[in-house]
Amino acid sequence: METYLHIINVRFSGEIHYMKTVTGSIDRIAIPGVILQPIVENAINHGLRDVKWEKHIELTTREEGDQIRVTIFDNGKGMTQPEIEAILQGEPMLIEMEGQPHRGTGLKNVIERLRIYYGVQDVFEITSEGPGKGTSVSIILPKPNGHALR
């Protein structure tokens, strides 16, 4: 993740500030490939692009009982509740990227892959306080055998 954000920050001339926080006894966790990158990419392309304030992305990982929560927060444009519901229900959204119409399916694919990989439905949450308040996207992973990976 750090390498990807470094490359993106070169593209954005260092405008994006990145912070990572790990709480609990989590040393390492295994996440299926190409899960975090589309979430961060969406945060940048749809949340932070064109905002006039200082841009931040925070990655936090913490233990919650028999689960591990990985959250990516951006302080960007935020989302409305109907937008969040559309994503969580798997509805492709017509969005504009670099001046061209595009059907957003990246998060839908992430959610489906996580559900298949872990065999549970509740693997993904999106929260936002509304326009201009940023967005949090959380992946909720079961701990293998009830223990964090090391």
* Per-residue pLDDT tens digits for 62-113: 999 889 999 999 999 999 999 898 888 877 665 555 555 555 567 888 999 9
CATH architecture, domain defined by 2-146: 2-Layer Sandwich (3.30)
Q: Which of 60, 53, 56 is nearest to 44 (CA)?
A: 56
SS3 assignment, position 63? strand
b/e burial code for range 18-42 (CB count within 10 A of at least 16 → b): beeeeeeebeebebeeebbebbbeb
